Amino acid sequence: MEKKKVVTFGEIMLRLKPPGVERFLQSPTFEATFGGGEANVAVSLAQFGLQAHFVTALPSNPIADACLEELQRFGVDTGFVSRQGKRMGIYYLESGSNQRPSQVIYDRAGSSLAEAAEDAFDWDRILRGSDWFHFTGITPAISASAANHCRRALESARKLGVTVSCDYNYRKKLWQYGKGAPQVMRDLVRFVDVGIANEEDCEKALGIPIGQDVEGGRLAPARYRTTAERVLEEFPNLRRQAITLRESQSADTNGWSAVLHNREEFLHSRRYLISDIVDRVGGGDSFAAGLIFGLLSFGDSAALEFAAAASCLKHSIPGDFNRVKVHEVEALIQGGGSGRVLR
């Protein structure tokens, strides 16, 4: 059977992180890897056995070459990457511990994707024969130009009948070019079939009040039915709305689950208590990838469970990428998770 083709579009960055849970430059060392929302999704999908294509703009230099080689090593097709511009974005991550939160510092202004030329991407050619297109709210936040590229991709996807998903992913530090997130995102989400959000993205990215406490404590999944229904009502094009529920007890211990409204049912996944978190960055992306894979492979309920389990496992893996296979996710769903050595 031919593999499903999924295209993701966004920015991948050089990720620089102090060792372990050290503060910035506590040691004169940074661990250098790569990461970015849509690239993380593409890596997961390739690990799950799908035909994953990642589209971006990168400069022609050895660091960007190494980035593409890393993606290709995971099986991601980078044939549509546009080599232009002068720099690759960077983000610095300091991992929190216990009551000290993690923090991210961006250095991505003027990146190749932020300044990509109007004709950088031939979306009809890129999306022809695709089953799915995925982007996040991070990409249109980078620059007005990047938002325009998203709009052109979405217009092409609609014309070609490609299913579209969007993780709303509100990033306050990025919306700096004169337009607020709802002003841009509400227009783009009108092209989306499957919406993905965390507890506050619906409010911050779409301007839809949620009235939830996202700072801590146990979240009540049923309360998010109203939020999902409000989003579905305002965007009749949406066929499904998923919301991840993160209960942050500390930087090291989170409750994790998700809900999905498909206009007929309101589904709630199993809840995982994740302690001794290794790296939560990329957790939402691993959920999005799991949901895309699940919806292309199973029914809605099984897709939601697969997405929640895949993301749970990501919290045990350093780096942005979720390095797990389908059978590992299925083992957790079927009652694994004890952490016993497999021999």
- pLDDT tens string, the chain, 343 residues long: the values are 678 999 999 999 999 999 999 999 999 999 999 999 999 999 999 999 999 999 999 999 999 999 999 999 999 999 999 999 999 999 999 999 999 999 999 999 999 999 999 999 999 999 999 999 999 999 999 999 999 999 999 999 999 999 999 999 999 999 999 999 999 999 999 999 999 998 789 999 999 987 655 555 566 777 889 999 999 999 999 999 999 999 888 988 999 999 999 999 999 999 999 998 898 888 899 999 999 999 999 999 999 999 999 999 999 999 999 999 999 999 999 986 655 544 4
CB 58 within 8 A of CB 13: no
Alpha helix positions (H), 170-299 = 181-189, 201-206, 223-234, 283-297
Token reading at 19: 């060792």
Half-sphere exposure of 293 (CA within 13 A, CB side): 29
Mark out the alpha helices in the chain (DSSP H runs): 37-47, 62-73, 123-127, 139-142, 144-160, 181-189, 201-206, 223-234, 283-297, 300-314, 326-333
**pLDDT value of residue 341:** 44
pTM score: 0.94
pLDDT at res. 343? 45
The rounded distance, in Å, linking the Cα atoms of 291 and 288 is 5
Q: Work out the number of other CB atoms within 10 angstroms of the CB of residue 340.
A: 7
Identify the CA nearest to 300 among candidates 255, 244, 239: 239
pLDDT of residue 280: 85
What confidence score (pLDDT) does residue 244 get? 94
